Amino acid sequence: MFSKILIANRGEIALRILRAAKELGIRTVAVYSESDRTSLHTLLADEKFCIGPARAMDSYRNIANILTVAELTKADAIHPGYGFLAENARFAEICENAGVTFIGPPPSIIRLMGDKNRARQEMIRAKLPVIPGSDKILEEIGEAKAAAQKIGFPVIIKAAAGGGGKGMRICRTPQHLEEQFPIARNEAKAAFGDPSVYLEKYLSGAHHIEIQVVVDKKGTIIVFGERDCSVQRKYQKLIEESPSPFVDERLRKRMMGAVESAVKAIGYQNVGTFEFLVDENKKYYFMEANTRIQVEHPVTESVYGINLVKAQIRAAAGEKVTFPFELQMRGHAIECRINAEDPTTFIPSPGRIDFLVLPGGEGIRVDSAAYGGWVIPPDYDSLIAKIIAYAPNRLLAIKKMQTALEMTTIVGVKTNIPLHLTILANSDFQGGTYSTQLMEKLLPPNGTPK
């Protein structure tokens, strides 16, 4: 096992990793930017080092500074969390060459799955169903039009080098495609440094379902049941739950089996998430694989009674990952992402939290690095907390979450709690009949919830 882990991240995920490391008896090193000097992960780590100014490129994405701290502190492993350098194959490679274990998949796997178009082709070879799309990178509008004609409208433009909604555009007509194609390429280049895009068939009314895996270096493959991440605004997830109200046992087993076969085919290691769109006829299609711990991992932990971050660390250390009980989904878990933003305009609301009361009680988990008096910097994502509600069944979990949100008090910044309460009260959500179109129904063009 590792003796010391450097946590190359910030906020709630840095705190989550720090807690898991301490429970495993591992010392921790926090790195932080100048604007995160008073963040909780810096206050609670065994050692802490400032690695640059607020701008992420100068701090949390500054590979040279992070590796220098690892060398100074004699850290034998680096955990990248999610975002920043978590899916950067070059960073993983540099860690490997420096003799520091990167807690994640090997660089070759990160590189493969990071190229979304190449990953599609690899999954086709692994006999995993993929959404109909172009079989190559599209550089000219003429190529894009020809591909769209073959696929059939509507189509969606996707950035080959990343995700999270960047470089993505839905196109319903050839004219719309012509307008959006250069915009998507420019956005992809700005976000990922690579303008490469490809096309996929756009499936309206689909469900966004993901399957979690943990694979150790001894060849143990553990595949977990699904998370439903269909509640999204502009491809950004808002609410996740497990199990999905849409997925039945037969579909679950088929998807889990398909993912296990794909994992074996590509030689996957460590944690990862295979993401799918599932149509109304319960036909599933591979979209992408994320080679890191996901923001929404707590809902899987809740229904299985496990700790995925500990499993990730153990797998990276070369240990066999096992659990002292039968892995079985029990009960229901829902996660709401609480962001510092205006609930109607979605404009970020950074600033000082003057007063903070987070919920608690039976079945409520809060993952957060926020505290009263903390100043939310404008330089990073606006996540304040993840609230996870767990109960024996879905309706009780929804009620428990509604109560938790109503008892959450955050003074000094605006939050999206009112939007979450609107979603949870929606009849489609409560009935489990919602899809990725839910937010389009709830939000008119001006953005104000109906």
In contact, 293 and 81? CB cutoff 8 Å: yes
Give the pLDDT confidence score for residue 443 in this predicted structure.
83
Written as one string, the DSSP assignment of 87-115 is: T-HHHHHHHHHTT-EESSS-HHHHHHHHS
Domain 4-103 has CATH 3.40.50.20: yes
Give the pLDDT confidence score for residue 445 in this predicted structure.
60
Between CA 179 and CA 188, with CA 182 as vertex, the angle to 5 degrees is 130
272 phi and psi, to 5 degrees?
A: -170, 165
Token pair of 332, please?
């229901």
Give the pLDDT confidence score for residue 446 in this predicted structure.
56
Instruction: Note if 292 is an active site residue.
Output: yes
The three-state secondary structure class of 270 is strand
Low-confidence ranges of the chain (pLDDT < 70): 164, 444-450
Give the C-alpha separation, 449 to 431, whole Å: 19
The three-state secondary structure class of 201 is strand
From the candidate CATH numbers 2.60.120.10, 3.30.470.20, 3.40.640.10, 3.30.70.120, the one assigned to the domain spanning 207-442: 3.30.470.20
Percent of the chain having pLDDT more than 90? 89
Catalytic residue (one of 292, 314, 337, 365): 292
For the domain 132-201, what is the CATH superfamily, name and number?
Answer: ATP-grasp fold, A domain (3.30.1490.20)
Q: Where are the domains of the chain?
A: 4-103, 132-201, 207-442
The tens digit of pLDDT for each residue in 296-320 reads 999 999 999 999 999 999 999 999 9
The pTM for the full model equals 0.92
